[in-house]
A and B are shown apart, each in its own frame.
Chain A
């Protein structure tokens, strides 16, 4: 099984705080993996059957901090779309960048990502990625099994059980599939696993498709909720 994981680096909410005067989140330490993406990684580890697990992310120089824990968990390599043009995108733009990076890295049987992020409670990336890759998808997966070229799964919420033929995209519900603690050996090995830098040009994408230029939705401002 070749499995691709899409990772979103997020602020470390354990140390970040909300600035009342600026109405913004102020980060105080390194970025961390989005928890639901770690659950996706844990599911991938249970399904990998000796195959490869690669992590894909769009990010800047802060992204490797969030990638290394997944490498420590057992991913084999990571791809980081880090050129400036790819930054500041929304789900539409990022899905295009990630889909292109995944396609370029070869054929994957399964693409997994978290069903939601720490930032936005409702995730969009999974179904968008599936559309960009031309693959079937399912959301809020809590458990899954592979049998031949079919993946069957249970889902949180009302959609219940289902199955899809591979290759497919699954989004993984947070809280299920607890990520295993890396052991000391995989921690040390993680430092040596490759994080490949990928440019927009290498992905054969037009600059107006990705990053801030390719974003449809803009965050205009943030503010404190009413007490």
Chain B
């Protein structure tokens, strides 16, 4: 067996085709975590927990973009499921333009297929604008998520008409799929101190 054929056999065994690799520019999950007074908020940690479940279903990597808190928060995020914590150049307090720039450039640099956010006043302000800037879709107010691993799709279940109906939404083509959870969705995951991950300082 030549080296090439071994590589091909390996790729076939892992279900990867060369074409797919170049076509699929977007891979992995990005969870946006907000800090309050230097601490990652509970809502963000809950979102991380939801994100980790999705990442596992996809067999994908999960990175956390940390806004409003510092590097000291990274270990807690890694132990709760982050494969990497990204630290952008952005002010600690919410500033619409600066945080938008940080989120958009993080997405452009890391190319996640899913961007997951908790449901907060800040994300309501931030996420739609970021999605518009990136020319992609946002499923907002999702009370439940479902991973469709074959399609690498996240289906969001959103209450409609004040809860009289539930709608199943998906963003089938454009990437990343932005998803903002409804308030009080998910639970803060427990820590696994054996988990490892990296800390990445993003350029300005």
Contacts and interface: CB of A to CB of B under 8 A. Distances in A.
A128 B100 CA distance: 12
Interface stretch (B5-13, B53-61, B127-135, B193-201): B127-135
Contact of B136 (A23, A216, A222): A216
A92 B177 CA distance: 12
Interface in B110-140: 119-122, 124-129, 131-133, 135-140
A205 interface: no
Interface string A22-45: 011100000000000000000000
Interface stretch (A52-60, A65-73, A132-140): A132-140
A124 B130 CA distance: 11
A91 B165 contact: no
Contact of B166 (A95, A132, A136, A223): A223
B131 A128 contact: yes
Interface residues of A, number: 45
B169 A218 contact: yes
A124 B138 contact: yes
Interface string A1-26: 00000000001010010100001110
B165 A25 contact: yes
Given A127-B126, A220-B168, A221-B168, A91 B162 contact: no
B65 to A, nearest CB: 18
Give the dominant DSSP class at A's interface. Answer: mixed
Interface stretch (B25-33, B73-81, B153-161, B184-192): B153-161
Interface range on chain B: under 10, 10 to 19, 20 to 34, or 35 or more? 35 or more
B125 to A, nearest CB: 5
B128 A124 contact: yes
B124 A139 contact: yes
A166 interface: no
A131 interface: yes
B116 to A, nearest CB: 15
Nearest to B129: A127
Contacts of B131: 92, 124, 128, 216
A120 B160 contact: yes
Interface of B: 94, 96-97, 119-122, 124-129, 131-133, 135-141, 155, 158-174, 180, 182
11 contacts: A25-B165, A92-B132, A121-B141, A123-B124, A130-B129, A139-B121, A140-B121, A216-B137, A219-B169, A221-B168, A225-B165
Interface of A: 11, 13, 16, 18, 23-25, 90-92, 95, 118-128, 130-132, 136-140, 155, 157-159, 215-225
